[in-house]
Amino acid sequence: MEGLSALKVRVRGIIGKQAKGSEVFKISFIFPNQDKYDGECTRTPDGILERNGYGVHTTPDGIIYQGNWKNDKMNGLGRLEHPSGAVYEGEFKDNMLHGIGTYMFPNGAKYTGQFSENKLEGKGEFTDIQGLEWDGTFHYTAAPGLKLKLDM
């Protein structure tokens, strides 16, 4: 779905202007699938409202995104929570985990490092469920040369 349709949009007020001169609106919106968005948006030249700025998007099945939006997509810093208990905090690009971030797995393991298009990609640190820290370069699910970090 491109932009926000006119269905169940409540504009709570104009809160400012962007650099290009377009007004920034604070809205509450319910999508046809019952997803909800509360946050900032702007109007395109065609009159379509797009999520731009800070906002919170929740789904009926419990997924919550809190963070920055650009061109109606998750872009910039944000936090994505899943009902499974998995949580990602970090950078997003075009609705994908992309940049530096931390992914906390439901089992308690944690990865902090680089992401590229929703994949662990680049330098990072993995903490397993026993609390052991592993350091190295990650390529999706492979981590050749991973080293255990020891405190001496």
pLDDT, tens only, 68-119: 999 999 999 999 999 999 999 999 999 999 999 999 999 999 999 999 999 9
**1 confidence band (pLDDT: 50, 70, 90):** very low
CB 120 within 8 A of CB 98: no
Measured distance CA(14)–CA(111) in Å, rounded: 39
What's the DSSP call for residue 72? T
How many Å apart are CA 76 and CA 108, to the nearest integer? 25
Task: Find, among 107, 106, 111, 64, the residue nearest to 85 by Cα.
Answer: 106
Give the per-residue pLDDT at 92.
99
Residues 6 or more apart whose CB falls under 8 angstroms from that of 131 comprise none
DSSP SS3 for 59 = coil
pTM, entire model? 0.83
Q: Does the pLDDT at position 2 exceed 60?
A: no
Among 124, 82, 126, 130, which residue's Cα sits nearest to residue 106? 82
Report the 10 Å Cβ neighbour count for 131. 9
Distance CA 112, CA 101 (A): 6
**Ranges for all domains in the chain classified under CATH 2.20.110.10:** 85-152
For residues 114-133, average pLDDT: 95
Which position has the higher pLDDT, 79 or 150? Answer: 79
CATH architecture under which domain 85-152 falls: Single Sheet (2.20)
Provide mean pLDDT across the span 54-63: 97
Q: Contact at 8 Å (CB) between 80 and 88?
A: yes
Give the pLDDT confidence score for residue 11 in this predicted structure: 53
Q: Which of the pair, 142 or 58, is modelled with greater confidence?
A: 58
